[in-house]
Amino acid sequence: MGSRLAPVGFDGVSPYLVTACPGTQLALQQAALGPRAVALSVGLGYTDSHVKKLADKIRRVGLVANVEKQSCIAVVQQAARLVRASGREPVADVATARLARLKIATATDAAAVARVADLLLVFGGDGTMLRAARDTADAGTPLLGVNIGGLGFLTAISAGQFATQLRAVWQGSFTLETRPLIEASGSLGGLFLSRAALNDFVVSRGSGSRLIELEVTVDGEELTRYRCDGLIVSSPTGSTAYSLAAGGAIVSPRAEVFTITPICPHTLSNRSVVVSLQSAIGIRALSGRIEALLSADGEVVAPLAAGETVLIRRSTRAVRLLHLAGDSFFRTLRQKLNWSGSHV
């Protein structure tokens, strides 16, 4: 497979946010991955030719698909052809290659593909993107989502315009953005557990209809006790997911905050609470006879028994997302969520 190439636009060590739009300067901003990280913004006066060289560093392109979606097959096959036609090498995880009947280099899973690729194309919806983000964050390889049906808030390319939009990437018309992961840890059921998420963690009631009672702390200080159907702790990225549906605030992905949002609280006064992303949020189950469940990005992780506590904090890991030039969080908000400040 050859030696590992550094992800495009990166020095292979420092996590930089790269804006590589033709006709503009190259803006580098070091992502704050911890309390000691220092943000850096430098205009280097890069020309279009320099930007093209950044795109040219993408030599090996990974293909990872939601194998439960048969509608992925044609687009993945097209992607393999387009990658080869551009002089680059496609590589897929075994399941994706089998789904699309590809005769290309393969690796065992998404994480293995990310370790040998310079760019990872992810075919599916937001759930597929969330899973890929968690599985591949350690590799540091940028992800580019290709929407196959559904909302696709985290995906940047539509299947119908795939060829044109991928060509724009080869030409260097893109931006790279670093998004932090969050993690939950605790001793649950006698075993220490640690899980990562990109969007959110949710503690919710199980199959019963009774409310659960949860005690919440922020940096060791009691925040409040909730009687509710559940509680969402979302990252900046996850503010437009379950938290938004539960009445939480829309948060820019560049904001360094957690949003704590109760689900159907049994009071008129409870609202979302926004705290620093550097805080540690503790959630302790108080309901003895009612099962509570901990979920990460919509996937159940483990039950939370009475007296057990899960601690949620910013992870040291992050994911890099590639966007087409001209795309932005607020534009996506308007177009995909039909958000508006008025009814006019």
Just list the catalytic residues.
126
How far, in Å, CA of 134 to CA of 30, rounded?
21
Which tokens hold the place of 190? 């006698």
172-190 in b/e burial notation, b at 16+ Cβ within 10 A?
bbbbbbbbbbbbbbbebee
Which tokens hold the place of 193? 């557990």
CA-CA-CA-CA dihedral for 238, 201, 120, 105, to nearest 10: -160
The DSSP secondary structure of 88-114, one letter per residue, reads -EEEEEHHHHHHHT--SEEESSHHHHH
* Cβ contacts of 114-117, under 8 Å, gap ≥ 24: 114/62, 114/139, 114/141, 115/4, 115/139, 115/141, 116/1, 116/2, 116/4, 116/60, 116/62, 116/91, 117/60, 117/61, 117/62, 117/91, 117/141
* 255: amino acid identity, one letter: A
Residues 107/98, Cβ–Cβ less than 8 Å: no
Q: Strand, coil or helix: what is 26?
A: coil
**Strand partners for 250:** none
